[in-house]
Structure 1
Amino acid sequence: MARRAVLGSLGVAWALPNTLLGLVAGGAGLAFGARARLDRRTCALVFHRWPWGPGGAMTLGNVILHTGETLEVSCATYAHRAGLCEDPIIVLGDHERAHVYQYMALGPLFLPLYLACGGISVRNRFERAADRYARTGRGWWPWPG
């Protein structure tokens, strides 16, 4: 248990540069009606009703910017939306939790790697891994072991 707490703390510290970006964006949203809530399940500070973007959620370190009221909503995987398969519906919070874990593992390397892998796209290995984790509870790491 102590080992897990130490690793978690190190991950939070490693993700801090990205978390700070999320805090700035989330803080700006507070003036426009966003509401902040610490979500221990996703290991993140979630800004609900974040006023910008096309809808859904975006993770920056240990911050999730979410346009809705709760992360416990059903959504389709990227592959399903692209018509590539018939995946079961997933929970948005589970998908975003995978991104939090990815940030905690990769820290400041996450954003450049994510963008190099195609950004917000079904082809992006980070998104496929987050969808896999949301479906199964396993496999958030974007590269095969």
Structure 2
Amino acid sequence: MRIAGGTLGMLWTSPITALGLLAGVIGMPFGARLRLRRSDLALVFQHWPWGPGGAITLGNVILHTGDSLDSPCFTYAHDAGHGDEPPILLADHERAHVYQYMVLGLLFVPLYLICGGISVRNPFERAADRYAQTGRGWWPWSRQ
């Protein structure tokens, strides 16, 4: 049942995944390197050459400007001064976004933007941080 659900989720978000693949492939002549991360259910383009740093998830594709997703980073709440939280792993945060995409498919992008985009106020980002901290609660409207 879990495999069937995962497969359906990947199909549901495949149009966004295709955009991520296109962006990743465009970055390859400029240094991006493709890696399969089964544990994250994603294709990762490391050393993606554009952006301010960090990572962005597009369906089952993660575009990452660094060497490894297994690097520590701070939560949105920590960066916004809402508390002193320990670092999380970027891979765990981005995996939560992969799960969110697999449930919401094409609805993810408009909902994410309506909820505030890249912001500490965005429930998608808070949930991804919560999941990276605890291993639970990746759904943006969960009560965990």
Query: Does the alignment reach a TM-score above 0.5?
Result: yes
Cα deviation, 1:80-108, whole Å, max 9, x if unaligned, reads: 00001111210000000000000000000
User: Residues of 2 paired with 1:89 and 1:136: CA distance?
Assistant: 12
Please, which runs of 5 or more residues in structure 2 have no aligned partner? Answer: none
Under a length normalisation based on structure 1, what TM-score does the superposition of the two structures give?
Answer: 0.97
2:69 corresponding residue in structure 1:
71
User: Residues of 1 paired with 2:86 and 2:12: CA distance?
Assistant: 33
Percent identity over the alignment is 68
2:90 corresponding residue in structure 1:
92
1:41 paired to 2:39: yes
Please, which runs of 5 or more residues in structure 1 have no aligned partner? Answer: none
Compute the displacement of 1:40 (Å). 0.4
Under a length normalisation based on structure 2, what TM-score does the superposition of the two structures give?
Answer: 0.98
2:114 corresponding residue in structure 1:
116
- Output the amino acid matched with 1:59: T
CA RMSD of aligned residues (A): 0.7
1:28 corresponding residue in structure 2:
26
2:53 corresponding residue in structure 1:
55
- Output the amino acid matched with 2:60: N
- Output the amino acid matched with 1:83: G
2:12 corresponding residue in structure 1:
14
2:135 corresponding residue in structure 1:
137
User: Residues of 1 paired with 2:16 and 2:93: CA distance?
Assistant: 18
Compute the displacement of 1:31 (Å). 1.1
The DSSP-based 3-state class of the residue aligned with 1:58 is strand
